[in-house]
Amino acid sequence: MDNARFADQLASGCSALGITVGPDVGPKLQRLMAELLKWNAKVNLTAITAPEEVLEKHFLDSLAVLPEVKGATSLLDLGAGAGFPGLPLKLELPEMGVTLVDTVGKKIAFIKAAAASLGLVGVRGLHARAEGKPETEGIPRAQVLIARAFMDLPDWLNLAPAYVEEGGRVVAMLGKQQTDAELQARAAERNLRVVSARSYRLPFSGAERQVAVFAKQ
C-alpha cells in the first residue's frame, strides 16, 4: 500500500467512524505497520498481515474508541497482543500514559521496539498475567482500563475493577453485540454501572463492533 492510498483509506475510515486524528498520526501508523509486518515475518504476532486489513482491523478498530478514551491521563491495555488498541490510541493522545500487558513475551518485545522506533514517551510494555492482584503482578492501576476481545464479558467484568483507579472506568471492546438489558444485568451483578454503550461497524468490511463503558457504583 503506497503512502497516498494509506492516507486516503485512513481518512475515509476515520470519517466513516466519526473520528478525527492529527496530521502526524497517519505517517506514524505507516511506520507502525512496517514494523509490525517486518517482525511478523520472523515471529508470529498477528494473523492479519494484508496492509488493508491491518489498517482496518488493527488501526481503525483501535481508533474507533477515541470518544470513550479521550480525557484520560492513563490507560491500561490488558491482553494487548501486538499493541492494539493501546499503541494507535497513544499516537493520537500523546499526553496519555499507556501500559500494555500481555502474557506472550515476543508481543511485549515488539511493543517495546515499536514504541522506541516511534519515539513514544510514556509507553510501558509489561510481560505479565492479570489475575486480579495488580500489586503482586506489578501492573499499575489506570484511569481507563481497556481490552479488545480479551475474554468473555462476564469474566472481564469480574477481573477489571481491580485495575481501575478510583473514579476510573472500564472499556470493553466487543465483537458480539450485547443488548442494553444484558449489559445492565452483567454490570449490576458486579456492583458496576453502565456509563455508555455504542455499536458501530468497521468501515470497509462492515464487521460489527460494540464498545461499552462501565464504572464502579
Question: Quick count: other Cβ atoms within 10 Å of Cβ 184?
Answer: 15
Binding-site residues for S-adenosyl-L-methionine: 79, 84, 130-131, 148
Q: Using H for helix, E for strand and C for coil, what is the string for the chain?
A: CCHHHHHHHHHHHHHHHCCCCCCCHHHHHHHHHHHHHHHHCCCCCCCCCCHHHHHHHHHHHHHCCHHHHCCCCEEEEECCCCCCCHHHHHHHCCCCEEEEEECCHHHHHHHHHHHHHCCCCCEEEEECCCCCCHHHHCCCCEEEEEEECCCCHHHHHHHHHHHEEEEEEEEEEECCCCCHHHHHHHHHCCCEEEEEEEEEECCCCCCEEEEEEEEEC
Q: Using the Cα atoms of residue 81, residue 84, residue 88 and residue 93 in order, give the sign of their dihedral.
A: negative
Q: Which residues are annotated as a binding site?
A: 79, 84, 130-131, 148
Strand partners, 194: 214
How far is the C-alpha of 6 from the C-alpha of 26, rounded, in Å? 8
Q: Which residue has the cell 468497521?
A: 202
